[in-house]
Structures are given as structure tokens and as C-alpha cells.
Amino acid sequence: MTRTVSITPFKDQKPGTSGLRKKVPVFQAPGYTEAFIQSIFDSLEGFQGKTLVIGGDGRFYNREVIQTALRMAAANGFGRVLVGRGGILSTPAASHMIRKYEAFGGLILSASHNPGGPTEDFGIKYNISNGGPAPETITDAIYARTQVIDRYRIADFDDVDLDELGTFEGGGMTIEVVDPVADYAELMETLFDFGAIRALVSGGFRVAFDAMHAVTGPYASEILVRRLGVDPASVLNATPLEDFGGHHPDPNLVHARKLYDLMMSPEAPDFGAASDGDGDRNLIIGRGVFVTPSDSLAMLAANAHLAPGYKNGLKGIARSMPTSGAADRVAAKLGVEMHETPTGWKFFGNLLDAGRCTICGEESAGTGSDHVREKDGLWAVLLWLNILAVRKQSVMEIVRDHWAEYGRTYYSRHDYEAIDTGQANQLFSALEGKLDSLAGHQAGSLTIAKADSFTYHDPVDGSVSRNQGIRIFFEGGSRLVFRLSGTGTSGATLRVYMERHEPDPAHHDEETQEALAPVIEAAEALAEIRKWTGRDSPTVIT
């Protein structure tokens, strides 16, 4: 039986760059989850009888929302749903599954790198048929629908056993509980030389991978341990937990500190990596060296031809605007297109679909390629391992060689989290008001060459995305970027990005924050962060 339930709209259901994210108690409010899912379905056309993919990162409330989504998908006319066993499906694996099985789209239940638990974060994101996040035309339509929605449709049938592989029927719809890892692992085998990586590992090369009690635990156990021969003890925190073990599943130097400390110790293995809540981000650390996400993108692009899946070279490289310009220098040497997009993986989708780029990345620990339409944490780890297996050098040696060839781009991001939204908006308004008059002026010890609010003109569909962040360019090549992030669930997060290119290898051993000191000083002089936020220092430095 299918029911239509009357509701009143919830005014706070505007999707951000990665869907709708709120605290669990918000999603638990009667009708809240249903209103948003129905608004997604109401904003789509032509899905009757088609396939929908559903899965999540295993965080608290994941299973309950999957049962609701299954009943609503049946009531709204989907013909089949593929759902990951245990409700588990990493974001890149979901993207691959949508593409492989030609699904109409997918619901990904995750708040990515945000904490999980009864009072922590939850999220719902819709991905389209190319496997990528819904573009702004769809998310805008979803939000518009949330403002006027007055009912949702739901079918009545018993809960599906998510822990049992098999095919079930509910509300006239076929429900298939599938292995969340198998299709993804097979895809990785087509891209990388698993034989070379196995030989590397069997020769004594040691790996440490921190799954952070999040979704990549089962993927790492299957691929790294069973298929590549990594010691099972080297996959840390491999069991997905609803609260991620009480930790923050964000693979950065704050939340993956134990891994970092291990990699900097005398007992360090040869290669360290971590992934986040839903498996789309990565952290790369060699023995004695942290590889920034911006550098990792550049180094992966420069060496991708060493992996079988990329042996014919790259069609182009794309990076988000706040990501450092390190990859630009690689693109210039390779003679391929370089694209600078707003933050948000959906902006890479058009470029990938049009064959305008092969590898893309964001400074926020996300890299990926045209194999899916999401960033992919394990993909980055495997490409690094493939490169290490072929070059037979350490991570440190590869990093040093890259800097010697392209110069070192010192880079850092300072996050001011959970600041008052009004104060954040005032800071931005004050800074925007200065932009037209900044050229030629001093900011600390640096001279401003130009400043703007970044506007992106999509070269594929001609769409325009304005106000994507403030860019300050200094004479000599340094750069400063300010953005307000849309990935949190409370208050606002001010992100400040700083970079300085240093071509001389004699100056490649400076401490990053010291090397960036003039740019950090300029950020405070321009934005008056202490004045507007009351903060003397960032919450997180990466």
C-alpha cells in the first residue's frame, strides 16, 4: 500500500556543495527527512521504472534513512534500487555503481568528513546519471520545492534486511542488496598494475592505512590486504562505526595525528595514507614527509602515465580555485588544458564528461580522475603505490625530484570554524567592498597586483557561477584566497588559503608557516579577522 502524507515545508533545506547536512536530531524531526527526499524526487523527471542507487558511510541514522528512502522510492515509481550491504557504499563506489548499471541516479547518505553520532551530523546528497553530484540547476530546483512541498509519498512494507545479499520486493519495486566493494575493486584492477604493487609489498615495502572507523575499512581490507598483500595489521581502524569511534573522520594533520606521528618517527613505514567518512578524501604521508593535497594532485598528474589506466597520457587537469597552482605547472609542461573551477566536485563533471580533463583535485584532500565522477580516496592511494612501485623511489625522493623540476609551492589553509554567520558575512562584505581599489596597495610587506571575486565560466555548457571566493594576487606570485564554506552544519567556516611559489631548491626546506609568514600577515591586514570574529588563531591549520 502507498500512502500520501501531508506536511508543511521546512525552510532550512537548502543543499550546500555536497547536499543537505544537518544534525541528526534535525533529520529525526517528523517529516523532515521525508520532505527532503520527496523534494528530490519531485525535482526529477523520467525515472519511472528506472534504477536508483542508495548507500552511505555507515554513520548514525544511516540504516533508518535507507529504509525510509526505499519505501519512498517505491511509492514514487522507481523500478529497482541497488543498496550496499549493511547500508555501506563509499561515495566513489556509489558513483561507479550508478555508471556501471546505468542507474537514473543515486542517494548518498553521508556528511563526509564531519563527526557522526546521535547528536552529530548527517547528510543526504543526490547524484545524477553520470555518477556525479547534482548540478546547481537541480539543487536549486530541489530547494525551491522544499519551500512549498505539502506532501510526501511512501509505501508500506517491512524493513529490508540490509545485511543479507539478495533480491527482495517491496511496494512493487525490486530491491537488490549488493556487495559494496566488489565492483569498485574490479574497477581499480583495470586502472593500476596490481602485480607491480604486490611485488613492491612482498619486497618489504610497508604501508599504514587509517580507515578512521569509516567507510573505507572494508574497501582497504579487500584491496590492500586481500588483493595486494598488505599486512592486515597495517589497516588501522578498519571497522566502520556509527560514531567513527568518537573521532572526527577527516584525514588531515589534526584528526589523523597518530598516523602523522608514526610517519615522522624512526619506526615509520614507507607509506602512510588515510581516508575520510565516505571514502572520497585522502591523506598522503611518506616517511618523514607530508604531501599536501595540492602537491599530491600535481605529482599524481606528472606521474599518472606510469599506471596502465593512464598510459596514453592526460587530456587535461582541473583544480578548484583555492587549490595551489602546482598542478598548473605540470599541465604547462605536458601541454594539456588546465581548468580552474569553483569548489565542489560537480564542476569537474562537465569537464570529465566532455573529455576536457583526466585528473582533477581540490586542496581539501580530494583527488580523482575520469574513472568516476567523484573524488576518490583509495584511488589516490593506489595511484601513489603504483608510482612508487614503478619508480622504485621513496615518497621523499619523488617529492624532492618534483620540487627540483617544478619549484615548491608552499601552501596552507587556515580554518576558522563555527564562527557567527553574521560576523562572517560582515567580514566578507567589508573585504568585497575594497576589491576594486586594492591593486598597487601594500598588505603587510606584500604589494597587491590584483584582486577579484572569482567567477567561473563553464567552457562546456556556458553556465556562469559568481561569488565563488575572493582572490588576492601579490607581486612576485604569492596568492591569498578567502571563502565561506558550505560543508558545516552550525555557524560559518571561514577558510583562508595561502600560497607562495619558490623555484630555488636551496629554499625548499623552510617550515611552511614560516615560509608563508608574509602572506599570513597580509591576510590579517586585509580581512581584519580578529576584529570581525574575535579569534586570535585558526581552529585548524592544514
In this predicted structure, what is the pLDDT of residue 486? 56
In this predicted structure, what is the pLDDT of residue 344? 85
Mean pLDDT of 222-236: 98
In this predicted structure, what is the pLDDT of residue 265? 98
In the block, residue with C-alpha cell 588531515: 252
H helix runs in 446-495, sequence order: none
Break the chain into its structural domains and give their ranges. Answer: 2-180, 184-406, 408-541
Catalytic residues: 112
Contact 73, 81 (CB under 8 A): yes
Which residues does 286 contact at the CB level (< 8 Å), separation at least 6? 263, 270, 271, 272, 394, 395, 396, 398, 399
Mean pLDDT of 180-198: 98
Topology match between the domains 2-180 and 184-406? yes
* Confidence at 136, pLDDT banded by 50, 70, 90: confident
Report whether pLDDT(3) > 60: yes
Under CATH, which architecture does the 2-180 domain have? 3-Layer(aba) Sandwich (3.40)
In this predicted structure, what is the pLDDT of residue 346? 86
Mean pLDDT of 373-401: 98
In this predicted structure, what is the pLDDT of residue 434? 94
Mean pLDDT of 26-35: 98
Contact 362, 375 (CB under 8 A): yes
Question: pLDDT by residue (tens digit) across 332-386?
Answer: 999 999 999 998 888 999 999 999 999 999 999 999 999 999 999 999 999 999 9
Q: What is the pTM of this model?
A: 0.95
| Among the ranges given (138-147, 251-260, 484-493), the one the predictor scored with the smallest mean pLDDT | 484-493
Report whether pLDDT(120) > 90: yes
- Cα–Cα distance between 95 and 379 in angstroms, integer? 13
In this predicted structure, what is the pLDDT of residue 540? 84
- Cα–Cα distance between 42 and 76 in angstroms, integer? 9
Q: Which residues pair with 320 in a beta bridge?
A: 341
Under CATH, which architecture does the 408-541 domain have? 2-Layer Sandwich (3.30)
* Confidence at 245, pLDDT banded by 50, 70, 90: very high
**Mean of per-residue pLDDT scores for the chain:** 96
Report whether pLDDT(315) > 70: yes
Joined grid coordinates for residue 69: 528512502
Q: In whole angstroms, how large is the CA radius of gyration of the chain?
A: 23
In this predicted structure, what is the pLDDT of residue 490? 66
In this predicted structure, what is the pLDDT of residue 489? 56
Backbone conformation region of residue 337, classed left if phi is above 0, alpha if psi is from -120 to 50, else beta:
beta
- Cα–Cα distance between 135 and 138 in angstroms, integer? 6
Mean pLDDT of 296-325: 98
For 519, list phi and psi in degrees, rounded to 5: -75, -40
* Confidence at 16, pLDDT banded by 50, 70, 90: confident
Contact 516, 412 (CB under 8 A): yes
Contact 388, 398 (CB under 8 A): yes
Angle 210-233-258 from CA coordinates, rounded to 5°? 40
Report whether pLDDT(31) > 70: yes
Q: What is 184-406's CATH number?
A: 3.40.120.10
For 494, list phi and psi in degrees, rounded to 5: -90, 125
Contact 389, 229 (CB under 8 A): no
Backbone conformation region of residue 84, classed left if phi is above 0, alpha if psi is from -120 to 50, else beta:
beta
- Cα–Cα distance between 78 and 51 in angstroms, integer? 6
